[in-house]
Structure 1
Amino acid sequence: MLSQRQLFLNYLAQTSDFPLMLEIERAEGIHLFDREGKKYIDLISGIGVSNVGHCHPKVVEAVTGQAATYMHLMVYGEFVQSPQTQLAKALVDTLPDSLNNVYLVNSGSEAIEGALKLAKRYTGRKKIISCIDAYHGSSHGALSVGGNESFKNAFRPLLPGIKHLPFGDLGSLNTIDNEVAAVLVETVQGEAGVRVADIAYFKALSEKCRQSGALLILDEIQCGFGRTGKFWGFEHYQITPDIIVSAKALGGGMPLGAFIASGEIMSVLKNNPILGHITTFGGHPVSAAAALAAIHVIQEENLLSQVGEKADLFKQQLTHPAIKSVRNLGLMMAVEFESFEVLKPIIDRAIELGVITDWFLFCDNSMRIAPPLIITGDEIQTACEIINQAIADCS
């Protein structure tokens, strides 16, 4: 009989020639356990997904309860389903008044696609502006607005009318004119290696969009749901987008995405054509129930108030001379090394020692640290000791 490892290699489509190949049989809290029972500290949360930890009891209870009640019933938007309506209300309650209408989909890429369609339909314009080294997903439209050419060239032709500007650059904002449907920006650039712009940039960006009539779309797929210490990353910048995009941690470990706008903007999807955006499984009731539970966990366990202190503890402990800098907004962190050739053995050694980290798609000399928000001070201490040991072993 073939092993699980061999089945994985034989029958699952591969995305690289060097998958991690860890056989994880169980996950709980900040830990993953392999088939031999070895315990790993997960410092990347499944790439920004498990903000409330793996298999949080309240999320598991919500999933099992909803699965026993009903699962898929009908395509999105036709039946009144309590998990969807309760989740939409809970999301709106975390947002400014203008962001009051939620469209639920399956993933971040799909949420980006919906947001782009919505902006074009509402404005009647065709041009989209996004940023250099942005990452918004791998579907056709999401890839088109992505800002790294090495990931795009093999799939051209992509969508026309896309222009990329330097993230955080005030001078480039003059490019935004009355032909632009939307400016799509990550509130914190993720795959570029946790790049953070200042308040002046975001205020100027917001004002330029208002003046030109372009919609401001903020991608909070990685930085939302408490990752930065605010429920939404844009709360750091004293602005309100026209459309916000969420996924990853939104589902509490289940697949779910959303784009959120005002009722006025969202209403254009109802006509010319009717069913202007449709999805079969979007807002799946089990995923929606998990998401609602995850929101309650973040709020009831006061996870936002702990993010800054926990991030500071990481920064205090990660002080090896091989570390060039640590960039962060809350627990969205990038630990910079000299090069990928220096970093990759450290990541591999840390995994051997029981800590899972990663690098960034467009910043391969920086280590990704984005642990579940429930991580404790003692667990941070242990994880940092292991990382420092891995650095020493590879020096």
Structure 2
Amino acid sequence: MNFSHNTFLKHLAQTTHSPFLLDIEKAEGVYLYAPDGKKYIDLISGIGVSNIGHRHPKVIQAIKEQVDKHLHVMVYGEYVQSAPNMLAEALVELLPENLNCCYFTNSGTEANEGALKLAKRYTGRTEIISFRGAYHGSTHGSLSVSGNEVKKAAFRPLLPDVKFLTFNTIEQLENITEKTACVIIEPIQGDAGVRIATQEFLEALRKRCTEKGALLIFDEIQTGIGRTGKMFAFEHYGVVPDILTSAKALGGGLPIGTFISSYEIMNSLTHDPMLGHITTFGGNPVCCASALASLEVIEEEKLLSTVEQKGLLFEQLLHHPRVKEIRRKGLLFAFEFETTAEVAHIVEYCLTRGVICFWFLSCPNSFRIAPPLTITKSEIINSCAIIKEAFDSLK
């Protein structure tokens, strides 16, 4: 074991007994580079973060310009700063009229925690409804509304008054009642292996929530910021939530999340009690500057217009007899196999040949691809050739 690996394993808290242990010295575009110069094509975008590629020049410039002005100056919500102001304006301009007020956090799970608190505060209700297979984060509240019991059991008791329904099952929506504060859902369940909501289901869900006075929360931590070919996945459906959460790719590589609602709903956090939700580093100006630049890159480079074409190319090139099912929306993929062992073999095979793909926590017999939206046709063809070799090498 070399020195850097020893430090990593002994002095940094571990999440598994078998981390990738990939040494990374630099990153650029769709590539990661090891200290020995070996390069890897990052087909997972650091798990949905680097949608515009690593170290985009415009993002780096925005970060440097903000660093020259100031870093953290005050806890969220007290001082007026241009970077979060400009980011909020840009997001509101992209969104439907009712999503006009942003609260910036440090991560996706914090955005979901804030959204849950907001819904309970605004409605005065306590019941939360989520869906089996959901993944909303690892902090206590987000874990409480996530659907993987294996990940939850060791940490109970969690939030009370949480009910789980079956995704895409309209009949079960009758469980939403006048007791329900909110329903939280991923329009496309990411960690469950890219399970895509139907049009009919989301329309029925929106109608039921409106009828019963429950707030509808769309968790777009993974699917937001262009991943599906729209800036947000809900745009494919024309179904608008009461609260929207986003993170991961929002920051262009820096940590930031947000929950967004109407000013009326969000204002309920300002009184009874005052400071109903607070964060020290939320709205960090450097992260906000990076996020704004990332949104501008997507628009200026017209990246959304190429997502579907690139997704189709991946899908066409990776059809194979061993693949049981391909689930895809834009450039978000799950490739399902018979066993978890097959997936582990594919991921390892690709890694040794310089292609990074990954599995899903809650769907380990599928592997994920979610490359930067900036990936080129030749990079898709070259990486798919290696993935097909991995498929062919299965015993």
Structure 2 length normalisation: TM-score?
Answer: 0.99
Residue 132 of structure 1 deviates from its aligned partner by: 0.3
Partners of 1:72 and 1:26 lie apart in 2 by 26
Deviations 1:27-77 (A, max 9, x none): 001000011110101010010000000000000111111112100000001
Give unmatched runs, 5+ long, in structure 1: none
Instruction: Tell me which amino acid in the other structure corresponds to 1:370.
Output: A
Question: Partner of 1:374: helix, strand, or coil?
Answer: coil
- Partner residue, 1:372: 372
Question: Partner of 2:259: helix, strand, or coil?
Answer: strand
Partners of 2:198 and 2:38 lie apart in 1 by 42
Partners of 2:168 and 2:319 lie apart in 1 by 28
- Partner residue, 1:253: 253
Deviations 1:340-361 (A, max 9, x none): 0111111101000110000111
- Partner residue, 1:356: 356
Partners of 2:4 and 2:60 lie apart in 1 by 25
2:222 equivalent to 1:228: no
Partners of 1:226 and 1:12 lie apart in 2 by 33
Partners of 2:59 and 2:165 lie apart in 1 by 39
Question: Partner of 1:228: helix, strand, or coil?
Answer: coil
- Partner residue, 1:96: 96
Residue 375 of structure 1 deviates from its aligned partner by: 0.4
Residue 187 of structure 1 deviates from its aligned partner by: 1.2
Question: Partner of 1:394: helix, strand, or coil?
Answer: coil
- Partner residue, 2:192: 192
Question: Partner of 2:280: helix, strand, or coil?
Answer: coil
- Partner residue, 1:13: 13
Deviations 1:160-217 (A, max 9, x none): 0000111111111000000000000001100000000111100000000000000000
- Partner residue, 2:47: 47
Residue 394 of structure 1 deviates from its aligned partner by: 3.2
Partners of 1:284 and 1:224 lie apart in 2 by 20
Instruction: Tell me which amino acid in the other structure corresponds to 2:98.
Output: S
Question: Partner of 2:333: helix, strand, or coil?
Answer: strand
Residue 238 of structure 1 deviates from its aligned partner by: 1.2
Question: Partner of 1:265: helix, strand, or coil?
Answer: helix
Partners of 1:236 and 1:161 lie apart in 2 by 31
**Superposition CA RMSD, Å:** 0.9
- Partner residue, 2:166: 166
- Partner residue, 1:268: 268
Residue 5 of structure 1 deviates from its aligned partner by: 1.1
Question: Partner of 1:306: helix, strand, or coil?
Answer: helix
Partners of 2:40 and 2:18 lie apart in 1 by 20
Instruction: Tell me which amino acid in the other structure corresponds to 2:122.
Output: Y
Deviations 1:125-168 (A, max 9, x none): 00000000100000000000001100000000000000011111
Shifted more, 128-137 versus 385-394: the winner is 385-394
- Partner residue, 1:109: 109
Q: Residues 108-147 of structure 1: matches in 2 within 5 Å?
A: 108-147=108-147
2:222 equivalent to 1:208: no
- Partner residue, 1:391: 391
Partners of 1:323 and 1:354 lie apart in 2 by 21
Question: Partner of 2:74: helix, strand, or coil?
Answer: coil
2:295 equivalent to 1:295: yes
Deviations 1:82-119 (A, max 9, x none): 00000000000110011000000000010001000000
Question: Partner of 1:24: helix, strand, or coil?
Answer: coil
- Partner residue, 1:334: 334
Shifted more, 319-328 versus 88-97: the winner is 319-328
- Partner residue, 2:308: 308
Partners of 1:394 and 1:36 lie apart in 2 by 29
- Partner residue, 1:3: 3
2:28 equivalent to 1:28: yes
Question: Partner of 1:72: helix, strand, or coil?
Answer: coil
Partners of 1:310 and 1:60 lie apart in 2 by 26
Question: Partner of 1:64: helix, strand, or coil?
Answer: helix
Partners of 2:38 and 2:319 lie apart in 1 by 27
Question: Partner of 2:244: helix, strand, or coil?
Answer: strand
Residue 25 of structure 1 deviates from its aligned partner by: 0.4
Give unmatched runs, 5+ long, in structure 2: none
Identity of counterpart residues, as a percentage? 55
